Amino acid sequence: MKLRALPLLCSLAVVSLGTTAHAVVIPVPNASFESPVLADGTSSAPITGWTATGSNFLAPAYNPVNANYAGATGGNLPGTANGAQAADIFTGGAGGGTLTTTAPVTTFLANTTYTLTVAIGARLDYSNGQGMSIHGAVISLLGNGGMTAGSLTFDTTTLTKGTFADFTTTFTTGASGGLVGQGLWISLGTFSEGSMAIDFDNVRLTDSNVAVGGNVPDAGSTAALLGLSLVGLFGLRRKFAAAKN
């Protein structure tokens, strides 16, 4: 191999790293609804850091017991939940409600993908929508004035009762305009034509910058690969010099 080709190979290696997204965790207030701390089987509303809106529903922070989730009494919640408490959205009949972060958790940046992941559970002792023609849950990323950015609506009867599973929605901004520069709120909600209880927990939000032709690599990863490329370059130089001698 001629030495003049080696810098090109190193450059290609660094460029290849640029296709790996670097996700940044964005803090979500009271993300697992552990505040305030509650005794087993008790609830509290309103939830710190969240605002409830809707009709014919309740949305407290709740510390479940074994009748709701096996092992919950004196312990943590199962599945992808985090901690002992969750937000319990209960509809007492036809209606629905949402919990929305009281303040924006961040600001929409240009060329950025936002990923919202939420653990959602169905209690053992309440309906998750069976036998109803209208039932479901939704998780959303919102801009100013409640403008929907990314949203996922799903059938709550697909939830396995007695545990939590993760659901995800994403949204990618453009170079300018649209939601760029607006506040980003998180919204969790349910709707049904009858009594239903669905729990939400472990709310996570990440962002990753996107550039034309790929994702923007983080500085640490770029430096690491560049270092490896230089080590390879010097090794090949020694091998080439030894071959000439």
Q: Do 133 and 178 reside in the same domain of the chain?
A: yes
> What is the domain range of residue 243?
217-245
% of the chain with per-residue pLDDT over 90: 73
Q: 84 and 137: one domain?
A: yes
Residue 10 within any structural domain of the chain: no
Between CA 219 and CA 83 the distance in angstroms is: 34
What would the pLDDT profile of 23-36 be if each residue is shown by its tens digit? 999 999 999 999 99
pLDDT band at 213 (very low <50, low <70, confident <90, very high): low
Q: How far is CA 98 from CA 137, 168, 191, 197, 218, in A?
A: 9, 17, 9, 13, 36
pLDDT digits (tens, 9 = 90+) for 40-91: 999 999 999 999 999 999 999 999 999 999 999 999 999 999 999 999 999 9
Q: Is residue 239 part of a domain?
A: yes
| Cβ atoms < 10 Å from Cβ of 13 | 14
Q: What pTM does this model have?
A: 0.79
- 114: three-class secondary structure by DSSP: strand
Q: What is the CATH number for 184?
A: 2.60.120.260
Q: Residue 14 falls within a domain, yes or no?
A: no
